[in-house]
Chains A and B, each alone.
Chain A
Amino acid sequence: MTDTAQQRDWSRPAATAIPKEGYLKLEQGRYGPLYPRTPACHGFTIIAKVKPGREQAVRDYGKSIEAAVAGDPHCLEVLKLHYLRWVLFEIKGDTYFMYQGIFDTDFDKYTEDAVALFSKTGITTVFVNLEGFPEDWRTNVPAFIKFVRDHQRPSFLEYGEYPWVSADEIKKALRVKAALSDMLDQMQ
């Protein structure tokens, strides 16, 4: 799904239905099958049960991430994110956490960088409040990945109004627009 032709066709909205197993074509990455890139980029929807009594701890980390990004706007740069959504919800009295991220790189490719960043910014501190999160996550990247994969719920439909476009390309386009309008200002 990374063919250039598709990448360039940003002007034509596109949708992709994804089979139940979560990928369109079985392709091995270093830590298992690669998840697909769709018109809505790469993404994760990780859903896991919060340990009893830890809901507030998870919620509080929303504030921590807000502060971390305010302090260093580029602190999550490694993840190549478009959007991040964290949701807490209840099913039959249990609290569940949903980590939904839309990003531009195959998670498998930069896994270790992501784990390092999660450690640095406290995202892992959220994860340790989830049931089944490996206690040796700091030194055991494969166990960390396994947790993520076990709790990943693949989409069965993804849609992009401006498909196949990376956050960097969007930022480039906006910079060109700003530069053009600056140029026009100079010509008044």
Chain B
Amino acid sequence: MLAFDDIQHILLTRVPALTGRYEFLSFRNAAAGRAWVAAIREKVQSAQQARASVETNKRWVSVAFTWNGLRALGLNVASLATFPEEFRQGMTARAEILGDTGANHPDTWVGGLASPELHAIVILFARDAVERERSRSEHQKLIAQLNGVTVLSSLDLEATPPFDYAHDHFGYRDRLSQPIIEGSGEEPTPGSGAPLKPGEFILGYPDEDGPPANLPQPEILSRNGSYMAYRRLQEHVGAFRDFLRQHGRTPEEQELVAAKLMGRWRSGAPLVLAPDKDDPALGADMQRNNDFNYKEMDPHGYAVPLGSHCRRMNPRDTAANMNRRRMIRRGATYGTHLPDDASEDGVERGIAAFVICASLIRQFEFAQNVWANDKNFHELGNERDPIIGNQDGTLEYKIPKRPIRKKITGLPAFTRARGGAYFFLPGLKALRYLATLGDGRQS
């Protein structure tokens, strides 16, 4: 049984937010940091609370800490040492592994995210801009009262039009393939596989390999928490649209190029099921839009190129131990929408997302290192993920086609990492524990 009343809602629920805001915090002293945790804790909803009030709530809050943040709160050395090495090192130290080199290098990141002074994030999802502004102002008052908590930077989230379905600035429909956690009460859609053991995503529960192991200590930190990799990914919408125009003469051809990069049409319709022509009804139908495999239905990639984003990020039946590699994705888009007929305006826009998993090294880092950035994934030789891989203009992209494949050389970068961090997302009881560190309960 999952402790719904102790798990932060972001792990288990998707809320009907159209806007939001992330604030990145630094604790100048431990007492102020703990006072902030004690105050913000009152605003953080559990999965149970969020589910019970999803229709009436207007805003949802989550908080998480970097390893430096846990240290700044006064967690003792012995406890700090029980966290996994990749989390202790932090995302910037893992840059080479993650493909964060060149234009994606942490030296170029914004918002102080590459700084060891980054200690915590507070995530606000809000139903509308009015609620976001109200919450922002309330949080600002709290910070002002505490002498020693500073906001390093913030990021306002904006859904991109049309608002009736989730999609990114490139226009791709999102949230189509999410793992389902056993005991969460949710049912997997056809083709999504069986529910996975909770320990793949939530600390303290059995995972696909058996009982949990190597959990952070003391025990209160080992239950109902998780790890979160934050990625702020700028989307170069102008360059993306130019690329489509360059490789497709008609709007239909351009749509096909976009679909071949992703593995799905922008409507969400999977190429495996709709190889030649978009099928928006299929894309929007959750009972059908994930019901396919690759090994039997498209082994050579004639529908979905072997190097496409979907095929790399979820190789389904063409990878071993898939159940040990799944991740929960949360997040939103930021920046203004670039109208279809507008040329690139130089304004930063993109996605600011979280990957939630029980093991950053086994799940998130594997996906970044191997699936997104291994040039030789599926024997492709000289490719990386066309959407999120590290592209420096020297790589290619192959689209299998009879009789002769199409090969695009010098693929440009459509995205750029502008920031990121590893966070520990504690359970609510663990949050209370962190708020009371130094009250004589710890040496």
Contacts and interface: CB of A to CB of B under 8 A. Distances in A.
Interface of A: 2, 4, 7, 27-31, 77-78, 109-110, 112-113, 116-117, 136, 138-142, 166, 168-169
Given A112-B362, A113-B320, A139-B214, A28 B97 contact: yes
A116 B320 contact: yes
Nearest to A143: B214
B56 interface: no
8 contacts: A7-B381, A29-B369, A109-B366, A112-B321, A136-B213, A138-B209, A139-B214, A141-B362
Interface string B370-405: 100011100101100000000000000000000000
A30 B366 contact: yes
B324 interface: yes
B96 interface: yes
Interface in B197-243: 209-210, 213-214
B81 to A, nearest CB: 14
Nearest to A78: B320
B168 interface: no
Interface residues of B, number: 24
Given A109-B370, A112-B366, A140 B214 contact: yes
Given A77-B320, A109-B369, 11 more contacts: A30-B366, A109-B370, A109-B374, A110-B370, A112-B366, A116-B320, A116-B321, A136-B213, A139-B209, A139-B214, A166-B379
B101 to A, nearest CB: 11
Given A7-B381, A112-B324, A169-B379, A140 B213 contact: yes
Given A2-B376, A4-B381, A142-B85, A30 B324 contact: no
Contacts of B320: 77-78, 110, 113, 116-117
Contacts of B362: 112, 141
A116 B324 contact: yes
Contacts of A138: 209-210
Contacts of B94: 28
Interface string B130-174: 000000000000000000000000000000000000000000000
Contacts of A112: 321, 324, 362, 366
B361 interface: yes
Nearest to B379: A168
Interface string B69-88: 00000000000000001100
B23 interface: no
Given A27-B96, A29-B97, A112-B362, A139 B210 contact: yes
A138 B321 CA distance: 15
B6 interface: no
Contact of B97 (A7, A30, A168): A30
B361 A30 contact: yes
A142 B381 CA distance: 29
